[in-house]
Structure 1
């Protein structure tokens, strides 16, 4: 057993049982991904500028309701993902100590947890309207019923998985008063869709062997150079989508300068990865994708038009 796994097990043994169980359920919720969904939904709400036609208290209340609803639905999707992938998780070193393969939570308890979160999250988002709630439920359904099972069958699951990842920001936009079928909603969705692809492919370069052990089908059979080329292509499409937000008149000079700087940095990192598809360069691209999205959405929220 790897030293990290031994250390993790030893640490768990020293932690009170109730605390371990709470931590296990939190881990089941995939908190990193879930919190990112909450943030992107909040950004979508904010850039819709709801304060132009709603009072301050209504804006704050709706932002809170949106965040709580997306939090519960994101946690539900994460729990369903853990359930459906518990066998492949057991085969991968990176995920073998997750709650289900490690036996810290039973599948029955995990199913009850996932369905409860789904129900509470949906009811919460209904306070913001049927459209927002439907977008939330669609996100969970696509992630759990389409993307997750197809990961071990086709590399096209990468693109299908980008759809549920792009919906929370659209839900936020609609909750803020924006039109569902509008150029702004399409651009926000495109930014999130294209962002996920280079982000995941950087992870695929880092953990290709582990993914193969788990039966996950990768683009180009997991060849690092092919993955790197795809990473550059999708990063370029991400940059073009981000520029479209400014071209559409939604961002000002600050956004344009910041977007240009972040784009140049991301593309340089991706080109370095193409030239040398090493683990180190893959890690640099992974970090760059995180920084790009955080920086871009901060600029979009601050420099409104």
Structure 2
């Protein structure tokens, strides 16, 4: 295997774009945690979080692909991944994933013990609870929303020598938790034909029907008040409140159009809207964050 080929396969193994999104979310929350303490940014710790978070997320995605290697062969979108295509053995992927998981956890523990524990918890939840549940029941989306919402929690706590529970990390967790329902249901709608080949049951009713469309739309409605909590609680200003409201209403409109049309084109708008919504809201919150005691 050439170096170029290995790098290409490694990117697919760790789902590079997803990994970057997770690391971005954790990094923004880390910076918010720094602002909460009214301290200058510790860029060394930020780098430690970024590298450790990248490795831990890559490990979770690697374990996911190992577990689903036979199912990935059945789906067009995943058949070219390194394991099902035969370009990488399960053993090689396992060694890489174990190395990334252990190394990433040891790196994150340097920040504080809680950050390391949460990183291990996220791997276990995602790889060994969410992954096998995808073929059993639509409840898998609810299960997967927990590890999916841990990055902002991990990032925020990483900013502290001695983390303490407060409303701020809980709200950061809650926003990302609720956001995942329209995000995943839209993806499941778009890819339903491919998912069915592997037996994945991710839509609320397991079908592209009116109830699944309604549930997706309702999840975008719930996201609006949840995204306004930072402003209501006082640690987010009026700018983030306004941006969250505007984006939330647009996102909600996309959800309504999916409910009305029940087509893939509408689901794609919800899906791409979700890609845009979360990083923008998190970035604006960072710059419109008010330090509270």
Q: TM-score, normalised by structure 2?
A: 0.94
**5+ residue gaps, structure 2:** none
Question: Could you tell me whether the CA contact under 8 Å between 2:114 and 2:163 is conserved in 1?
Answer: no
**Counterparts of 2:264 and 2:81, CA distance in 1:** 24
2:44 equivalent to 1:67? no
What are the within-5 Å matches in structure 2 for residues 106-255 of structure 1? 106-177=89-160, 179-218=163-202, 219-255=204-240
1:172 shift after superposition: 0.9
**Counterparts of 1:53 and 1:272, CA distance in 2:** 43
1:183 shift after superposition: 1.4
Question: Could you tell me whether the CA contact under 8 Å between 1:122 and 1:133 is conserved in 2?
Answer: yes
**Counterparts of 1:89 and 1:222, CA distance in 2:** 21
Choose which of 235, 249, 274 in structure 1 pairs with 2:259.
274
1:48 shift after superposition: 1.6
Q: Which moved more, 1:169-178 or 1:121-130?
A: 169-178
**Counterparts of 2:129 and 2:225, CA distance in 1:** 28
Q: Which moved more, 1:197-206 or 1:178-187?
A: 178-187
**Counterparts of 2:174 and 2:234, CA distance in 1:** 16
**Counterparts of 2:211 and 2:73, CA distance in 1:** 27
Runs of 4+ in structure 1 deviating by more than 3 angstroms, as ranges, are: 50-56
Residue 31 (structure 2) aligns with? 46
**Counterparts of 1:206 and 1:272, CA distance in 2:** 14
**Counterparts of 1:266 and 1:185, CA distance in 2:** 24
**Number of paired residues?**
288
Question: Could you tell me whether the CA contact under 8 Å between 1:179 and 1:185 is conserved in 2?
Answer: no
**Counterparts of 1:180 and 1:193, CA distance in 2:** 20
Residue 300 (structure 1) aligns with? 285
Question: Could you tell me whether the CA contact under 8 Å between 1:204 and 1:222 is conserved in 2?
Answer: no
**Counterparts of 2:94 and 2:37, CA distance in 1:** 42
Residue 10 (structure 1) aligns with? none
1:116 shift after superposition: 0.3
1:189 shift after superposition: 0.8
Residue 72 (structure 2) aligns with? 89
- 3-state SS of 1:91 partner: coil
Q: Which moved more, 1:264-273 or 1:227-236?
A: 227-236
Residue 5 (structure 2) aligns with? 20
Question: Could you tell me whether the CA contact under 8 Å between 1:66 and 1:125 is conserved in 2?
Answer: yes
**Counterparts of 2:35 and 2:238, CA distance in 1:** 22
Q: Tell me: CA distance 1:119–1:255, structure 2 relative to 1, closer, same or farther (3 Å).
A: same
**5+ residue gaps, structure 1:** 1-15
Residue 37 (structure 1) aligns with? 22
Question: Could you tell me whether the CA contact under 8 Å between 1:202 and 1:231 is conserved in 2?
Answer: yes
- 3-state SS of 2:228 partner: helix
Question: Could you tell me whether the CA contact under 8 Å between 1:190 and 1:238 is conserved in 2?
Answer: no
Please, what is the CA RMSD of the aligned residues?
Answer: 1.5
